[in-house]
Each structure stands twice: as structure tokens, then as C-alpha cells.
Amino acid sequence: MSEIIAQPLTVEAFAPYGDVLEAVGEPDKTINAGFCGRWHDKATLDFGPDGRAGISVFQAEPRTLPYTLDLVERHPDGSQAFIPMSRDSWLVTVADDDGGKPVNIKAFIVRAGQAINFHRGTWHGVLTPLSAPGLFAVVDRIGDTVNLEEFRLDPPIAVSV
């Protein structure tokens, strides 16, 4: 089984796949009489012509490292944001697309205080917390289409940190 090492999540490294949502640097706006910074509109949301935004709650079982990545998926009709509701590191896996096939798998460690938004159609692994509670708010497309393609990786890939 081939192995990849998860890298720290940065805006630059993640740019081909999506957005990093975090309170880093100066806020775009200071509100509430100076008590609150707003980093404004940081996600490229795209739910297509027939979809709309929704907020769902995901609770996922923690996984252990090395993580065996044997399946990636993509949502052709919409972006998908994972917002952790705890201050824990978790794992994100992504891939490039080559004619409908995921290639060049990469893994990132998301640190406390970061959320991510996958751009529409980006290959990614399922939600992968590394510790309890594995609780996330998810902003994704609500609509009538299946909006899911899966691709089984054979052989699987071991992801370490």
C-alpha cells in the first residue's frame, strides 16, 4: 500500500481544491463597537442553478492514523464546507481529476480554528475527524439531484502525519 504524509493546511496549498476559513491576519471589518472581527465571505459557494444552500450537522466517528483511504467522492452539483464545532485537528484528503478519475491524492491536517470549503466537483475523502466528538456543521447543496460520484481506490492509500 502506498503512503502519503498529511501536510499542514494552508490557504496556498489548498487553493486548487477549495477555501480555508480562518481568523488570520487583520479582519476585513470590525463590528459590534470593536468587539468582533469579521473575515468576510471567505468561501466560494456554488450550488448550481437548481440548488440552494443548506446547513446540516454531521457527527462522524473518529478515525485512527495511519488512515486507510480507499474511497473518494465528489459532488458535481455543489460546493461543500466542513466547519468543525470543536478545537481538534482533523484530516482532509483531496485529489485532482484526470478525465473522471481522481489522481495525485493529497492529505492535509486541519488545525483548530480552521474550516474548509471544497469547490464544486472536487474529489475528496469523507469527513475524517481524528478525535471525538467529530461534530461539524456542513454547508452544502440542497437539491433534487444525486450530486454524488464515488471512486474506489484500489489499492488503497495509507495516510500518516
Q: Which residues bind a copy of itself (CB under 8 A)?
A: 21-23, 27, 31-33, 35-43, 45, 52-61, 63, 71, 81, 83-87, 112-113, 115, 117, 126-127, 133-135, 137-139, 142
State which residue, 16 or 27, has the beta carbon closest to a copy of itself.
27
Compute CA distances 46 → 18, 107, 119, 152, whole Å.
Answer: 11, 23, 8, 26
* Cβ 84 to a copy of itself shortest distance, Å: 6
How far apart are alpha carbons 100 and 103 in whole angstroms?
Answer: 9
* Cβ 160 to a copy of itself shortest distance, Å: 19
Element holding 118 (H helix, E strand): strand 115-118
* Cβ 25 to a copy of itself shortest distance, Å: 11
- β 7-8/128-129 pair status: unpaired
* Cβ 37 to a copy of itself shortest distance, Å: 5
**Of 12, 16, 154, which is closest to residue 94 (Cα–Cα)?**
16
How far apart are alpha carbons 139 and 142 in whole angstroms?
Answer: 9
State which residue, 35 or 146, has the beta carbon closest to a copy of itself.
35
State which residue, 6 or 83, has the beta carbon closest to a copy of itself.
83
